[in-house]
Amino acid sequence: MTQNQKPLVKGFKCRIYPTKEQKDYLQKVFGSARFIYNHLLAELKDEYENYKKDQSIQRTPINKISLAYKLPSLKQKEEYQWLNDAPAQVLQHASGQLAEAFLRFFKSKIGYPRFKSKHGRQSVTFSNQIYSIDGNRLKLLKCKSLFKVKLHRALPSSGLKSCTVSKTPSGKYYASFLCEYIPEKTSGTGFLGIDAGITDLATLSNGLILLNPKHYVKQQYRLAQLSRRLTRKQKGSKNRNKARLKVARLHDHIANQRCDYMHKFTTSVIRENQAVAIENLQIRNMIKNRRLSKHIADAAWGEMRQQLAYKAIASQNCLLVIADPYYPSTQLCHRCNTKPSQKIKLGVTKWVCEYCGEKHQRDHNASLNLEVLARSYYYQQKRNGEIASIILAKPYSPLI
C-alpha cells in the first residue's frame, strides 16, 4: 500500500430511531456504564484518602487492565446483579475511559475526573464484536430487536471498529461508527491565510470575507423566553419536562446551524488550496472578557481550527500551518515585512506603513501575512521532502 493509499480512521454519525423497548434497553446500558465509572472513581478516591493517612496500604494501579479486573467480582454481588443485563465489553470500555481520564490528568495536572450525571448527554461504546449493521438496521448485543438507522451515506464495506450510541438532552439518539477508509486526494493549488474575527468571522487573503451569522445572538431572545417558562414549571411535572425539551431542542438547532456553516466553509478551503495558515488564538484567555465572551463562543474559532486540522489530514494534499500565538500578523506590513514604530491599537481598522507607504486594511493585511507564512512552510517542506499535514509554526523572530 502506497503512502497516498494509507487508510485513515473516521467517524460516521447517523441518527437512529429506537422503539420504546429499545429506549428502555439503552437507558439500562447508559445507567450501567455510568454506575461503573462512578463506582470505580469513588473507590480510587477512597483508596487515595486512606493512603494519605497510612502509606503502607496497597493501592490499585490505575490502568485499563487493573480496573477491568474489578468488574467480575462487582457483578457477582447480589445487589449489583442488574449489571449483567448490559454487555460486558461496554462496562469494560467505561472502566477504560476512567483510566484514560486519570492518565490525562497525571500528564497535564488539570481536569481531575468528575462523577458522571444521569442528566445531559449519555453515551456508551460497543466494540465491533458486539454490534453489526446490515443496510439501515443496527444490531446491538443483548437487544432483541433491530434499531432503525438513517444512513446519509454508505459506510465503508470493511474496517468497522467501534460504535458509540449517544442520547442528547433533547431526546435524540445517534450512532457514531468508527471506520477505516481511504480518502480521496484533493487537487487544490492555492495558498490562503485566514484571519478570524467577530464582526467578520474570517477575512481571507484572496479578498473574500466570511460573514458572521451570529446564530446564538439571533436566537438568544427566544432562548431567554423559553428558559423563563421552564423556571416557572413545577419540578418533576410533565409540563416541566416538555419545557426542558423545548430549550434543549433550540440549543441543538443553534449548534447544528453553527456546525453546518463551518463545515461548508472549511471543506471549500481545504479542497481549493494546498497550504492554509491560521492563527493559534488563545481562546481560553480571550473568553474571560465578559463583554465579548458570548460573541467569541458563538464564533466557534476552536471548531474552525479542529475541522481544518482533520480535513487537511484527510485531503493528503493540503498543509495547515498554525501560526505562533505571538506572531504579529496584524502589526507587520505584508509588503516590506516591517513593524510600525508604534503599536497599532485594537480599534484601528486602517493604517499606512510608514516605510513603504502601503495602505492596509487591518484584517486583510493580517491574512496576507498568514498567507506568506503558509507559502514559506509549504516550500520549505517541499525542499526537505517531508510529508506532513499540520505544522505548528516556530516562535516568531524578526531576524528570520
What's the length of the chain? 400
Amino acid at 266: T
As a whole number of angstroms, the distance between CA 37 and CA 366 comes to 47
* Catalytic option among 358, 363, 371, 386: 363
252 a catalytic residue: no
Strands 190-196 and 273-279 turn out to be parallel
Distance (Å, whole) CA 364 – CA 246 = 41
Check if 354 is active-site.
no
Burial code (b: 16+ CB inside 10 Å, e: under 16) for 181-214 equals bebeebebeebbbbbbbeeebbbbbeeebbebeb
What whole-number distance in Å separates Cα of residue 124 and Cα of residue 88? 12
The amino acid occupying position 49 is E
Q: Under a CB-based contact definition with an 8 Å cutoff, are residues 374 and 193 in contact?
A: yes
279 is catalytic: yes
Q: Please, are residues 194 and 202 in contact by the beta-carbon 8 Å criterion?
A: yes
DSSP letters spanning 204-273? ETTS-EEE---HHHHHHHHHHHHHHHHHHSPTT-HHHHHHHHHHHHHHHHHHHHHHHHHHHHHHHHHHHE
What span, in angstroms and rounded, lies between the C-alpha atoms of 291 and 273? 35
Choose the catalytic residue: 24, 47, 49, 195: 195
Q: For residue 312, what are the CA distances in angstroms to 183, 275, 324, 384?
A: 11, 9, 19, 20
N-to-C CA span, the chain: 39
Task: Please say whether the beta carbons of 66 and 54 come within 8 A.
Answer: no
Task: Given the residues 47, 279, 324, 386, select the one marked as catalytic.
Answer: 279
Active site residues: 195, 279, 363
